[in-house]
Structure 1
Amino acid sequence: MSLPFYFSLCFIFSLSFILPPPSLAANDTVPCPLNITVLRVVGGGARPSFDSGTQCHYILQALHLLQADYLRRSNLFVPPLNASESCWTSFQSFINEFDPSIDIRSSCGLKTEWISQGCMNITTKQQFEATVPTAAIQAVQGNCNQSLDNNSPCALCTTKISTLLSYLIGRTVGNVSDCRAYTSIYAASLSDQYGATDPGTAKCLFGLDFSSPGSSGKRRTIIIVVSVFCFVALLVLAGVWTYIRFKKRNEFGGGKGVGKSELGLGLGSGLDSMNQSTTLIRFTFDEIKKATRNFSRDNMIGSGGYGNVYKGMLLDGSPVAFKRFKNCSVAGDASFTHEVEVIASVRHVNLVTLRGYCTATTNLEGHQRIIVTDLMENGSLYDHLFGSSKKNLSWSIRQKIALGTARGLAYLHYGAQPSIIHRDIKASNILLDHKFEAKVADFGLAKFNPEGMTHMSTRVAGTMGYVAPEYALYGQLTERSDVFSYGVVLLELLSGKKALQTNDDGQPSALTDFAWSLVRNGSALDVVEDGIPEPGPPEVLEKYVLIAVLCSHPQLYARPTMDQVVKMLETDESVPSLMDRPIPFIAGRIDIEKSALSNSGQLCSPTGYQAYTLQNQRKSICKEDEEEEEGSSVADTVTTE
């Protein structure tokens, strides 16, 4: 053997110890620290139900669940960069057990390194807690370190989580774990007992429901049988109770006087059970009369198709608003119960808070239905843009209102369980507190939307100028119907113009068409109202205009989700390119919308609820929405221009 050949062999042999294997040399890969077993434990061998349109969302949520477990164990939000390839490989293997056809990275548009990147370059628990005020962290720890299996604890936890987002306003790297995901990951990591392996946590914070169809069907059957039995028992008890009460009333002369009566049978049972599971207060009619000075006209602050709104003061000095329903028919009971149920089921800083309710029947006033909410000192957005108290809001306030409204809607769509579609987003339903924090209000038309279902309805409800085209045309109702309405409100907020206007020929024109024509011609900034105090940077103003036009696009799937809207508003994320619009369709949209709304029995003025004045009153007819009932009832809608 020659000497040069011998040295060559020695050199190659020594390199085999110095250099890593080819796979590691190429990717610098280390084992993935994420524990895939967590998904098997919490799922019990099942996978959450989803379709092809939502699979990427649920896949990322499952990954966030693994990150929560990793954060609890290591105080790290994301795995190291040199573990990114092995983590994707492990996660892909788990997904393949259920659907081998899904290639996570190619199907969902994810880059390998994004699994190790996230919100504001925050990687550790200490960095996250240093970014958010201690009080907000303590609130999350106090409300999320418990079982989240029931709606009430889940609502409290998600409400506290939502407040963290206002402090996480930096840039997100990639699209795997954004700042919103970080808040849920942090909350899920707090508890050893009710952490990432708890089904309640998976369902509440990440929307992952691993219940198998078979067990769900059996459970549903049991619930139906028990419900029918309880319903029959209640009917029998109600009949006995009614007979005894009727007999006593006859014996004592019918109970003359102004005194209060009990709740109606069906309504009472529903609200009473709700009252036991929430902090709602059931006020007496006399308490409300005293608080409103016997419903004095001086205390009236608004009116609408449902009735009037009064301001008042509780005994503890708290200023509140009393929404007094008109009770022209029994249908008012169903509408009232529905609105109480919707508002009581959600808690969020950007949603109006329900204090309590009152139901009573008196000989003088008749049947009464009243909702008690926090009083918004600054009225509605409509008041400031178009009302008698019109003010030229500064850009910082407009920006705050736009973001707050978006957050409130995003919570309704993705934070509430089940999700809620508002259906009547407009400037008059955006209330403003003393700090001009936006509160989405008036849930009289809201619909629960379990498991992302799409409603098809022959009865369209809403307000002209704000109703999404697919809803007005075909009765197709989804969360993106609210996105369209939000886009219209955002355009009103930016431009100071109403959703529907009258052109020089006396014909109605839509603000969405006006804004689109300017954006199409490269003049997006011309949409913004002149003379805004303390205007923002031109690039920010233009971005908001583009978001508004994107949200109000006539085609359903061209619009973003409210989660995506919040992300665009909060971060430096760019606005997607705008799809072209079908001009002939847009030209006739107002006529289509008017026809759909009038035929459906829900024609309302765009002004809706607003500040009450005595001048220029006019009446319009606003039928109550009764999609699930036969017939319809008619109530007067008093509005002022």
Structure 2
Amino acid sequence: MFLRRTAVVHILLFFTAASSSLVAAQNSSCPLDFSILQPFKRPSPDGSTTCQYLLQGLRLVYSHHLRQTGSFSPPLSSASSCWDALQSSISGFLPRFDVRSRCGFQTPWISQGCMNITTRSQFEALIPNSTLSTAVMRCNLSLESNTPCASCTQSLSAFQAYLTGASLGNVSDCTGFSSIYGAAFANRFGPTDKGTAKCLFLLDLASSSGNGSGKKKVVKILVPLLVILLVASGLILWYYLKRKRDFKMRRMKLRQQRDSLEAGTRSRLDSMSESTTLVKFTFEEIKKATNNFSRHNIIGRGGYGNVFKGVLQDGTEVAFKRFKNCSANGDANFAHEVEVIASIRHVNLLALRGYCTATTAYEGHQRIIVCDLVSNGSLHDHLFGDSETHLPWPLRQRIALGMARGLAYLHYGAQPSIIHRDIKASNILLDERFEAKVADFGLAKFNPEGMTHMSTRVAGTMGYVAPEYALYGQLTEKSDVYSFGVVLLELLSGRKAIVTDEEGQPVSVADWAWALVREGQTLDVVEDGMPEKGSPEVLEKYVLIAVLCSHPQLHARPTMDQVVKMLESNEFTVISIPQRPIPLVACREEIDRSVSSSSGSGKLTSPTGYQAFSFGADGSGHH
């Protein structure tokens, strides 16, 4: 009898444990520790940077999880519970903020990432040991200062050349894996360290409440005093200017302003050499490297000056961009370009190696930047140079995707965003693997966050400049999208941006391609004799994307993020193309055809059955 009761008890215990295991498997708890985000500054409710803060915070949590467990992301079974845990952790300062719906995140993304990499060993198997060792050497110290931070991020950017596969979602995509790994294992202080979090995840520690209250008291005392001082200073300055408006004082003031500008520019350039990894070359070093700026060393010419190739003392081949007509105003432009290039690191953007500033008795004022020398020249050389060989389709496809990724990073990865303004085939350089490098940021312009457009002096190259920019000076990211569309058409067709027809009239490649697409002859845009042609569906998709990007109406063009998604997608889908207005140089037949077709739908889709490609629903639901 006793044995029977014991057996029954054992059976009951077995089924109880089994059912508990089943429930736990179905509701797997989240292994991520979101409490580590508590010490960091929080965004304002419904602010423009809220989603960016949550994305960077998630990546910091991933890095902490990787350091503790060796895994990049939690298991897929815990995706819902991890989102709930994140939601709970922000409820105190973002009470009605639904992370997934407001930021466009889908539920599985929190457990997915780059190229199906889930563990540390899988990641390290893809990266050469020398590259990993360099990252550890440059990152294994405090990153609070600008110099070690810049050196560390530059070494981590080298990982991107080996992370070229597909990413699932945008929570921990391939662009974020370098920082996640670097904070976890390349830096000995770990991702929660103040310097590491600031450098690799752009997160600042919050100040203590006690210090905050003390500062408020000081501010209450100082503000009235400062107001009184400002008013008094303003009255004194007004009285002084009223009494001293003669010509001599104006000349003295102008001279002081000029001296101040020169000193400020010199100070900015000197500080850059201390806070970044840039090398400040001497003018004599550059003269020796370029054989005294020999004309045989010239590899490019432009409105800003000539580009020379040269060899440094260690045998490294580099390119020197020498600016002409330098003056005080030229110094400001030069400082701006150096700052822009030095602040960006991406596999599809040309990196800056150093610069030089000098004044000599014979050459005058000199401004020079030093960049890496790419081995395969520019895209313009391969499309329109003397070579009789044609680029095969696989290389053209790689170049197109590299251009798109580089521009998308300028628009949405750089902080603040950057508009290039001079995208053209000669500014797309190709390395030994024919990886595209977007070059020449001399005309780049910062776009302040929150602004919808910028009006500024029109700069660019004829045939590539967007109509709204050329006619009205309206500059947006979609001005670069238009130029990208023109270069993509050049890449597909082998035709230059502007050619002349049989009657000697100028015709843009965008209008020419649109005419063929409108007549259902999309594949006729593709260059005859292109080696290793891809499938007709893929070629047609690329042509339609190029035509859409080069649409003369700004609102009809996609963003560069959308372009990258379309190019990377394996689905043969594309946004429907709105009807275009007549070209600037139009014949009577084109005008009549435009008028007669104005009563139609005004939309064009692929004759092979493409459907509309929509981004509006991305991330709107919880999957």
**TM class, shorter-chain normalised?**
0.7 to 0.9
Give yes or no for the alignment of 1:440 onto 2:438.
Answer: yes
Partner amino acid, structure 1, of 2:367: R
> Amino acid of the residue matched to residue 384 of structure 1?
H
Distance in 2, matches of 1:568 and 1:164, equals: 24
Structure 1 length-normalised TM: 0.70
Query: Which one of 108, 113, 120 corresponds to residue 113 of structure 1?
Result: 108
Matches within 5 A, 1:408-427: 408-427=406-425
Which residue matches 1:612? none
Q: Deviations over 1:355-403 (max 9, x none)?
A: 4433333444333333333334433222222244575223333234334
SS of the aligned residue for 1:324 comes to strand
1:398 paired with 2:396, answer yes
Query: Which residue number corresponds to residue 494 of structure 2?
Result: 496
The answer to whether 1:42 aligns with 2:40 is yes
* Aligned-partner SS, 1:583: coil
Preserved CA contact (<8 Å) 2:510 2:550: yes
Deviation string for 1:329-359 (max 9, x for gaps)? 5422222232233333334444334344333
Cα–Cα, structure 1 residues 98 and 548, in superposed 2: closer, same or farther, change >3 Å?
Answer: farther
**For structure 1, which segment, 329-338 or 104-113, has the greater mean C-alpha deviation from structure 2 after superposition?**
104-113
Q: How far off is 1:557 after superposition?
A: 6.5
Q: Could you say which residue in structure 2 is the equivalent of 1:372?
A: 370
Instruction: State how far apart, in whole Å, the 1-side matches of 2:380 and 2:278 are.
Output: 29
Conserved? CA contact 1:567–1:573, under 8 Å: no
Residues 141 and 512 (structure 1), Cα distance of their counterparts in 2 relative to 1, 3 Å cut: farther
Q: 1:183 to 1:589 in 2, by over 3 A?
A: farther
Q: Residue 349 of structure 2 corresponds to which residue in structure 1? A: 351
8 Å contact 1:383–1:390 — kept in the other structure? no
Q: Are residues 291 and 18 of structure 1, via their aligned partners in 2, closer, same or farther at CA, if it must alter by over 3 Å? A: closer
The answer to which of 545-554 and 395-404 deviates more is 545-554
Q: Secondary structure at the match of 2:366?
A: strand
Q: How many Å separate the matches in 2 of 1:142 and 1:481?
A: 41
Distance in 2 between the 1:560 and 1:157 partners? 34
In the aligned structure 1, how far is the partner of 2:191 from the partner of 2:514? 45
Q: Cα deviations across residues 164-215 of structure 1 (Å, max 9, x unaligned)?
A: 3343344444554333333333233226764332454445444556779x98
Paired residue secondary structure (1:526): helix
- Correspondence 1:192-271 to 2 at 5 A: 194-208=189-203, 265-271=263-269
List per-residue Cα deviations over 1:68-99 (Å, max 9, x = no partner): 22222111222223322211211222343333
1:578 maps to which residue? 575
Match of 2:322 in 1: 324
Are residues 361 and 189 of structure 1, via their aligned partners in 2, closer, same or farther at CA, if it must alter by over 3 Å? closer
Deviation at 1:559, TM superposition (A): 5.0
Measure, in 2, the Cα distance between the counterparts of 1:400 and 1:420.
23
Sequence identity of aligned pairs in percent? 62
Structure 1 distance, partners of 2:24, 2:556, is 40
Q: Is the 8 A contact 2:157 2:345 kept in 1?
A: no
CA distance in 1 between counterparts of 2:532 and 2:137 reads 39
Structure 1 window deviating more from structure 2 (553-562 vs 131-140): it is 553-562
Structure 2: gaps (5+ residues): 1-8, 227-251, 587-623
- Residue identity in the other structure for 2:71: L
In 2, Cα distance between equivalents of 1:156 and 1:487: 35
Aligned to 2:184: 189
Q: How does 1:26-41 map to 2 (within 5 A)?
A: 28-41=26-39
| Aligned partner of 1:335 among 311, 327, 333 | 333
Q: Helix, strand or coil: the match of 1:396?
A: helix
| Paired positions, count | 533
1:131 equivalent in alignment to 2:126? yes
User: Secondary structure at 1:121's aligned position in 2?
Assistant: coil
Unaligned runs of 5+ in 1: 1-9, 226-238, 244-262, 591-641
Secondary structure of residue in 2 paired with 1:190: helix
Q: State the partner residue of 1:3.
A: none
Amino acid in the other structure paired with 1:128: F
Give SS of 1:497's match.
coil
Judged with a 3 Å threshold, the aligned counterparts in structure 2 of structure 1 residues 90 and 554 are, in CA distance, closer, same or farther, namely farther
Does the Cα contact within 8 Å between 1:131 and 1:167 map onto a contact in 2? yes
Deviations 1:511-565 (A, max 9, x none): 3344455556665443322212233444444444344345445565665554555
Q: Give 1:497 deviation, angstroms.
A: 1.7
Distance 1:301 1:49 in 2: 52
Residues 210-261 of structure 1 deviation map (CA, whole Å, 9 limit, x = unaligned): 779x98xx99x99xx9xxxxxxxxxxxxx9xx99xxxxxxxxxxxxxxxxxx
Shift in alpha-carbon separation, 1:48–1:423, aligned structure 2, 3 A: farther
Aligned partners of 1:159 and 1:349 also within 8 Å: no
1:384 is matched with 382
Alpha-carbon contact 1:48-1:208 (below 8 Å) kept: no
- Bigger drift between 121-130 and 478-487 goes to 478-487
Q: 1:310: which partner in 2?
A: 308
The answer for the alignment partner of 2:175 in structure 1 is 180
Q: Aligned equivalents of 2:544 and 2:183: distance in 1? A: 35
* Deviation for aligned residue 1:427: 1.0
Instruction: Output the aligned Cα RMSD.
Output: 4.2
Distance 1:418 1:210, change over 3 A: farther
Question: Residues 426-456 of structure 1, C-alpha deviation per residue, up to 9 Å, x if partnerless?
Answer: 1111223455443322221112345575552
SS at match of 1:512: helix
Q: In the alignment, is residue 535 of structure 1 matched against residue 533 of structure 2?
A: yes
Compared CA separation, residues 376 and 103, structure 1 to 2 (3 A): closer
Distance 1:198 1:472, change over 3 A: farther
Q: Which residue of 1 aligns with 2:66?
A: 71
The 3 A distance-change label for structure 1 pair 316 and 61 is: closer
CA distance in 2, matches of 1:573, 1:48: 39
